[in-house]
A and B are shown apart, each in its own frame.
Chain A
Amino acid sequence: MTAELLRGDAYQGLRLDPRTKMAMVFVVGIILTAGGYGGLMTYVRPALAFMPLLLLLLSKRWSAAAFYAAAFSAAYLGEIFLLSSTFGILNFILLASVGLFARFMPGLMMGYFLVSTTTVSDFMSAMRKMHVTEKLAIPLSVMFRFFPTVREEYGAIGDAMRMRGVSLCGGKPLKMLEYRFVPMMMCSLKIGEELSTAALTRGLGSPAKRTNICRIGFHAQDIPFLMLSAFCLAAYVRWLIANGGGAW
């Protein structure tokens, strides 16, 4: 489920404007990982945690949705169970891990939702509509494009290391890092060069105003999500003001 960042398979689920998705990633990520309990937030937090599941289901990412539902409930139950049972340092560590997991998971899944349902083309035009400079839009889209490549290269180098019998068991962790990272960066450099030539010979960086075949724009289905995001954000800001800045 992680290999297809910004993937482009014929997408049949709910269509949202990339800007809506970004707004929701922002809201879910920021609010759930920061503080804010009590009052309205009692309802906002669970609603936001539920959001990735809803969106993954609406976009027909069945396996990712199932994974999220299972992982999140496990973490949630674990938290309740751990709080009432064990004590001492083990509890300390386990609790923190489970808690952090429960807090970061929704944001990560929202990120996955964003990149798995948005094409590079969509992304670039959304960035342009938001007047984000190309100096950020190009590196950002190259970065997302490059994550799967990093994974592939990492895997191939790992294969080669296992075949050579070079493994962490050798007891030289620094050497291992070197063996993994240096070839990976060298291959990345080469791929980067090829990627650049292919993109540049097809006019990337042309001063002409870039057009886009992906019709992005806000539609009826964006409205409830945008409103919900705005509402949650407003509730959070209210809580922040009431609590003198919270945990920032």
Chain B
Amino acid sequence: MQKSDNRLTPKDLINIGIFTAIYFVVAFAVAMIGYIPIFIPLQSMAVPLAGGIPMMLMLTKVRKFGAMLILAVVVGAVYTVMGSGIWLLPIGIVSALAAEFIVKSGKYQSAKKAVLAYGVFCLAVFGNYMPIFFSRDAYRSFVIESGYGEEYADALIRYLPNWIAPVLVAACFAFGILGGLLGRAVLKKHFDRAGMA
């Protein structure tokens, strides 16, 4: 495994697998708050914030092209099967690709670029909300047909008006940056000092 080798080695792939597991567990745990519909918008803050720590750690462990992308594909695929809608995976791949180029532009050494990249990466969380905004009528009839009744559906729709969509996008990005900063802080406070980063 020569230093010049920029391809992912099996060691890197195992590391990515481990961080993907941690990221998945953390993201899943905090995404559970969306179980209660009024808290659905909170996901755009909680998930990026909590995922920052494992992501920042992974970026210091695997300084090569592809780590974020693989994580996005794996987590996105599992979430899709678990019912997040079909948008999460494609949006995840696009934002992860963009994030990959950002960390690459920092030659995988720049902490600032890593934080920025994670902010971009987190835009994928918006994929969860796509059905609500982009096929509003269908979503409403879906909620009604699911057996919740019109009253409930209208309340939910009213609760998430169209203008909130850009707010959610911004929240994903902003809390991604915050999560990234938090991750960097924890890295500095613990992992650097412990000689593990």
Contact = CB atoms under 8 A, between A and B. Distances in A.
A228 interface: no
Contacts, number: 167
A49 to B, nearest CB: 13
Nearest to B144: A37
A33 interface: yes
Contacts of B20: 139, 142-143
A146 B146 contact: no
A168 interface: no
B13 A99 contact: no
Nearest to B149: A83
Interface residues of A, number: 59
Contact of B152 (A92, A111, A185): A92
B155 A33 contact: no
Given A96-B36, A135-B13, A30 B142 contact: no
Given A97-B36, A199-B14, A248-B135, A103 B83 contact: yes
Interface residues of B, number: 57
Interface in A161-179: 178
Contact of A246 (B22, B36, B61, B138): B138
Contacts of A147: 21, 25
A167 to B, nearest CB: 18
Contacts of A245: 135, 138
Given A96-B148, A150-B21, A182-B186, 10 more contacts: A29-B81, A37-B146, A92-B152, A96-B35, A96-B152, A138-B17, A146-B18, A184-B22, A186-B190, A196-B15
19 contacts: A26-B81, A33-B84, A79-B147, A83-B149, A92-B38, A99-B146, A99-B147, A135-B13, A135-B70, A140-B74, A142-B14, A146-B21, A146-B22, A185-B22, A185-B54, A186-B191, A189-B57, A205-B13, A246-B135
